Structure 1
Amino acid sequence: MTTTSTPTDFTLRPASFIADREALRWVREEVFVAEQHIPPDTEWDSLDPAGDHLLAISSTGAPIGTARLTPDGRFSRLAVLKPWRGRGVGEALLKAMIDKARANGWKDLTLYAQVANEGFYTRHGFVSIGEPFDDVGIPHQFMRLKLRD
């Protein structure tokens, strides 16, 4: 994956869980722990070291968003700092990771969407499967995007 520029004053770049851990941590903890009150010990998991991470970086060099693909074919940990929401950051991260999953030859891509964000994923072709469920006190929906037959 190459660094990409967008018209909204940010870039996307691949992130190493080791080298970029602090940037990933800062964005995810700001969004999930501080804002959504998710317990810090559940935010980080064993899939992080083996995952493919992507960072959105502002024109000033500050991390503003992140996303992850896990080895088991899931998209997760999409987080965008509040001042950057509605400016295409989340969409750019999602589209870049869908492209990466396709390049990896994956048949489909799955995710556990917060129900409040289900429409965002539906607009990008994901389909809801089953009933919503609770995860760390937040309603979630299992969703899948078919990438190939």
Structure 2
Amino acid sequence: MSDIVILPVPPFSLLCNAAFALRREVFVWEQKVPEAEEHDNYDMTATHFVAIGEGEVVGTLRLIDLPEHVKIGRVAVRQAFRGRGIARRMIAAAMAHARQAGRDRFYLTAQSDKLGFYESLGFVAFGPEFIDGGMPHRAMRDYDRDSAVLVD
């Protein structure tokens, strides 16, 4: 998978705009997330990452730097590129980037059918299941794992 390059990109740069288009493709068109919910104010301040393969943006995610932790979100990989470890590599690169800035507590909200993937990265689910974008989600974190409690 050495043909994939992962890098941070500034908001609304050409590469970030390609990432936004990929998010629309995956979340709005494929997963039927309401378009009004896809973008938010965090897009202006988040650190965006892209995975580039075969000359195009094939994956993206964003980091939101919050006081209590760094939130990983909007993880998307183009359908034809799934199953190649791209999301795993993007998350590792993004977390390494945040750790270089002294941040080491990570949080995310995962679609409930993706919990196993995030657990394999060291995250643990906590709290109740909730609906986001029309799909069930769980909050997950990679810190204070022993105190994480699921509520159903």
Q: TM-score, normalised by structure 2?
A: 0.87
Contact 1:28 1:77 survives alignment (8 Å): yes
Mapped partners of 1:21, 1:57: distance in 2:
11
Correspondence 1:39 to 2:62: no
Partner of 1:3: none
Give per-residue Cα distances to partners, 1:43-100, cap 9 Å, x unaligned: 00000110001000113x1110001001212000100001110001111111111112
Name the structure 1 match of 2:4: 10
- What's the CA shift for 1:101? 2.1
> Which 4+ residue blocks in structure 1 deviate beyond 4 angstroms?
none
CA contact (8 A) 1:78 1:90 kept: yes
Match of 2:18 among 19, 23, 30: 23
- Answering whether residue 102 of structure 2 is matched by residue 108 of structure 1, we say no
Give the distance between the partners of 2:122 and 2:131, measured in 1 at CA: 23
**Higher alpha-carbon deviation: 48-57 or 10-19:** 10-19
CA contact (8 A) 2:131 2:137 kept: yes
* AA in 2 matched with 1:125: G
Question: By percentage of residues, which structure has more helix?
Answer: 2
In structure 1, which of residues 86, 89, 92 is the aligned counterpart of residue 89 of structure 2? Answer: 92
Matched, 1:133 2:130: yes
Match of 2:58 in 1: 64
Alignment size in residue pairs: 140
Structure 2 runs not aligned, ≥5 long = 145-152
Alignment of 1:74 with 2:77, yes or no, is no
Q: Distance in 1 between matches of 2:31 and 2:129?
A: 18
- TM-score between both structures, scaled by the size of structure 1: 0.88
Offset of 1:136 from its aligned partner? Answer: 2.0
CA contact (8 A) 1:47 1:71 kept: no
Letter of the structure 1 residue corresponding to residue 89 of structure 2 = A
1:107 deviation in Å? 3.9
3-state SS of 2:110 partner: strand
Residue 48 (structure 1) aligns with: 43
Is residue 67–residue 77 contact of structure 1 (8 Å, CA) maintained in 2?
Answer: yes
